[in-house]
Structure 1
Amino acid sequence: MDIATFNGLDSPDGLDGALQALWWDAQGDWERAHTEAQRVGSPAGDWVHAYLHRKEGDIGNAGYWYARAGKPAQEAGVSLEREWEAIATELLAGD
């Protein structure tokens, strides 16, 4: 699945948990996205979890989740939109 198809989905049903969390975030529902990311229990879920805490502004907590995901913490120069797209692209490629 590509990002355009992913963005056009009416529902996250059938997606793995990390992608469901990203889908909810794209819908503007941070709380639901966070709940889904917490449930995943995998490096992919941890990466989405890190992104969500970065988006929230909780950089310390985000750093913890980036480390758990095995991903470098994003620098201030990387936009949230670019990071979301990078996560989605990688997760969709592995789907």
Structure 2
Amino acid sequence: MIRSTDQHRRVLSLLRRSEWDKAHAIVMGMRDRLAFRMHGLLHRIEGDLDNARYWYDRAAVPFSKSMSAASEIEEIAALLERGDRAMRPRASSAPRTGTRRRPRRRSGSRRSLA
């Protein structure tokens, strides 16, 4: 269950009042999936769609230009109120890139340089 923090509530309030710069300044320091979604929404509102896609990917939320900003703000508010499990932080805050990590070699399996 996501914890409704003062920061989340503050950003939501700023979003509702269209205070994008203030909301952006706060959300930049937050590291959970709901904050990533809020960050993506801010960039979508600004028209910076590539950056918006990046943040929506980090939030594991499909990017959509069809939902109005007002509708998405209210959807975010509902997620925050009910503590939606889908918005839990990921184990790693690194974005998914679609590439796999290289497996580590076992200590006894080093190749000889000779």
- Give the TM-score of the pair, scaled to structure 1: 0.76
- Does the 8 A contact of 2:15 with 2:73 survive in 1? no
Runs (4+) of structure 1 moved beyond 4 Å?
Answer: none
Structure ranking higher on relative contact order (CA contacts 8 Å, 6+ apart): 2
Q: 1:41 aligns with which of 20, 31, 51?
A: 31
Unmatched tracts of structure 1, length 5 or more: 1-13
Give the number of aligned pairs. 81
Q: Rg larger in 1 or in 2?
A: 2
The residue type paired with residue 54 of structure 2 is Y
Unmatched tracts of structure 2, length 5 or more: 85-114
Q: Which has the larger share of helix? A: 1
Q: What does 1:1-95 align with in structure 2 at a 5 Å threshold?
A: 15-74=5-64, 76-94=65-83
Distance of 1:82 and 1:38 partners within structure 2: 22
Shift of 1:23: 1.0
Distance of 1:15 and 1:42 partners within structure 2: 11
Identical amino acids, percent of aligned pairs: 35
Root-mean-square deviation (CA), in Å?
Answer: 1.8
1:27-85 Cα deviation digits (max 9, x unpaired): 221111001111111111101000111111111000000000111112x3211111111
Secondary structure of the residue that 1:39 maps to in structure 2?
coil
